[in-house]
Amino acid sequence: MSIMNTSSDSPLHPVAGIRLATACAGIKKPDHRDLVVIEIAEGSQTAAVFTQNAFCAAPVIVAREHLAVTTPGYLLVNTGNANAGTGKQGLADARACCQAVATAAGCQVEAVLPFSTGVIGEPLPVDKITAAVPAALDKLEVAAWEDATWGILTTDTKPKCLSRKLNIDGQSICLTGMAKGSGMIRPDMATMLAYIATDAEIDAPDLQACLQSAVDQSFNRITVDGDTSTNDACLLMATGKSGLCLKQGDAGFELFSQALNELCVELAKAMVRDGEGATKLINIEVMTGTSTEECLDVAYTIAHSPLVKTAFFASDPNWGRILAAVGRAPVSKLDLDKVKIYLDEVCIVEHGGRSPGYTEEQGQQVMDRNEITVRVELGRGQAQANVWTCDFSYDYVRINAEYRT
């Protein structure tokens, strides 16, 4: 059994049973790919995880409703408008878009799941979307993953897509996924959208468990700015077209789960690398805590500190900002004498203060790198957790200040 990795620069493997297409609906600007349709073969299974934001968008509500009554056959994704904060009219608009797909494709309206991303609080331009649906359906093809990755982007500067090939007992299966998101990123599911497909056969409960586990270790461990979107969603589709059936507890299923976890982590890190205005990827690793939750509390306190994030942007080894963030994390009875903090291989804090061997030159060498690990050892248990984040630059402020212009 083996996994062959495919980077985002490599060709994407088509997934038998999945067809995709894009269209230019003119939602926010003309001649821009802003509508994606994904067709899922009959007999497939689909797992989904959605935002926990109480103001979840209309398409999230409708997608949940539809998933509860039938297996999806089509996904409809629009950019340029989030259809969030739009009340009852937003729900009616999301359903109208689903109906347009259902009418053109000849399926139940509940078999269509809607997804939107873009500006919050603006009415969805239903007429533009429904007018573009027939053309998108006419263009559906298995090899359109790359085109679709461009069609789901908003403030992203580049597409995020990956494939994995797995050989299980002499039989080949594949995993291909795409994601979008570079701002309003702190998923709690799960602005981000992710769509992943495999040609393996996996039953619904196992598929959902597999996806939730992968999301918890990837998309739920990233933050650009600490904001949870109203529209986050992550879907995993299993078409079964390879003929290989995977069941929880089997060695093949474990290999698949490992590959899915790795793919989701790489997509999640790609989102952070492409964070709005980001120049550095920061891996925050908190170790020897009493629980995973405690480690995550410390990691997110560091990751969400504007002072820490701006220091990274400036490549300034101002380690006192990291120390202060650790100290204000919600951790009770922290023994400062046991805490150690590292920038990559350089110990910057131990025994309650600056490490005796630390020099400014060592810190500067690390801070000049594009990818940096902040490691915190709490010295109070066996738990650990990772969070990935990025720096704050001038461009983050500019992009978000000008977002609606």
Q: Look at the block and give the residue holding tokens 């002499």.
A: 170
- Is-catalytic flag, 191? yes
Q: Which of 79, 176, 191, 239 is catalytic?
A: 191
pLDDT computed for residue 192 by the predictor:
79
pLDDT single digits (tens) 22-79: 999 999 888 889 999 999 999 999 999 998 888 889 999 999 999 999 999 999 999 9
Name the stretches of the chain with pLDDT < 70.
1-10, 183-191, 227-229, 403-405
For residue 28, give every residue at least 6 positions away whose Cβ sits within 8 Å of its Cβ, in sequence order, or none.
34, 79, 80, 81, 118, 119
pLDDT computed for residue 2 by the predictor:
45
3-state class (DSSP) for residue 322: helix
Q: Are 155 and 403 in contact (CB under 8 A)?
A: yes
Between helix 319-328 and helix 292-303 the angle, nearest 10°, is 140
pLDDT computed for residue 7 by the predictor:
42
Edge to edge, the sheet with strand 281-289 lists: 353-354, 346-350, 340-343, 371-377, 281-289, 383-390
SS3 assignment for 179-218: EECCCCECCCCCCCEEEEEECCECCHHHHHHHHHHHHHCC
pTM of the predicted structure, to 2 decimals: 0.90
Structural domains for the chain? 2-273 (3.60.70.12), 281-401 (3.10.20.340)
pLDDT computed for residue 175 by the predictor:
97
Averaged confidence pLDDT in the chain: 91
CA distance 171 to 1: 9
Residue 251 CA to its chain's centroid (Å): 27
